[in-house]
Amino acid sequence: MALTIRAKAPLRISFAGGGTDVPPYPETHGGCVLNATIDSYAWGSLRPRQDKRIGIESADLNLQVEFAVGDELHMDGNLDLAKAALKRLEATGCNGFDIFLHSDAPPGSGLGSSSALVVTLVGLVREFRSIALSNYEVAEVAYLIERKDLKINGGLQDQYAASFGGFNFMEFERDRVIVNPLRVHCGSMNELEHNLLLCYTGKTRRSDHIIDDQTARLVSDQRDTVQGLQAQKELAVAMKNALLTNHLSHFGDLLDSAWQAKKKMSDRISNQQIDELYEEARKKGALGGKITGAGGGGFMMFYCEFERKHKVAEQLRKMGAVTTEFAFDREGLQTWRNHGASLAKAV
């Protein structure tokens, strides 16, 4: 029977601290982030073949590439994340395989989908080649693929969130990352799922432009950016404490503070549409909210008292946004083997 290797890695929402994981801030100041993974995923399948050919297909981008085992891999904008992963992991010295990729959210969503996809790719190759990689090592390899090999500007949290899963308080230092899994009470987790609302603005964005601006402001020691990043760190600690002590209304209030601090880091983080959505959500009863990624578009997240949540969602939909419910994921990267499965070729 044909063997197919499967993998999935969860997307994440970031509550506070985003931006303090982006170099050079961790090296100079030390960063920290509070985040959690949700039940949306980057998915992958790998099926061995015997003709010395490698095929990669992305359902989301509607792209396919194929090349011979041993061919030099050119980073030309066509499925570069996958090609860079295979190159770094030296996965092309075999009889060949097909890879199929899909994500529950598009790139630029603010949910860490690109990094989750790379973590999924690392998981597929780890399983295929029986490589011993810990969660830390998977995340580090994924980070190197994105940030070093492909020179995509960004932070560290997304790769570690997708690899570890669950609620985490992450610390970023000059030469190491520390992931502190949080034992969030089941009741607190259920209450968060009841009260949190995701809202898609209808626009994705390239985060690297925003990150470039934030980094330039940090390097030039602009006061608002430095203060905004320091506030993000302090709020990440405060929100962690509120979460662990089940003070969730306070958690919602702190989410608003985190958004106000985040906007100080770059004037590209928000825009008129985001400001209007946020203002109306607050009028309808949201205690707080924020963009879930670097900013400029993608998903927003709001904390509402449950009895007001439907009013907030109704208003956001009237303004053209798409609201969605979600649950939390506790597992992180998962890989498994399926005997007898097939990868259907696109027609």
Q: Report the catalytic residues.
A: 158
Collapsed DSSP state (helix, strand, coil) of residue 105:
coil
Which residue, among 5, 55, 66, 14, has the nearest Cα to 37 in the 3D structure? Answer: 14
The span from the CA of 269 to the CA of 161, in Å, is 22
Give every strand in the sheet of 299-304, ordered side by side. 286-291, 299-304, 196-200, 322-324
Which residue, among 338, 344, 321, has the nearest Cα to 102 in the 3D structure? Answer: 344
Q: 69 vs 49, 51, 91, 96, CA distance in Å?
A: 11, 9, 9, 6
Asked if residues 255 and 289 have their Cβ atoms less than 8 Å apart, the reply is yes
Asked if residues 166 and 181 have their Cβ atoms less than 8 Å apart, the reply is yes
Asked if residues 150 and 84 have their Cβ atoms less than 8 Å apart, the reply is yes
The span from the CA of 152 to the CA of 327, in Å, is 29
Which residue's entry shows tokens 């992931």? 179
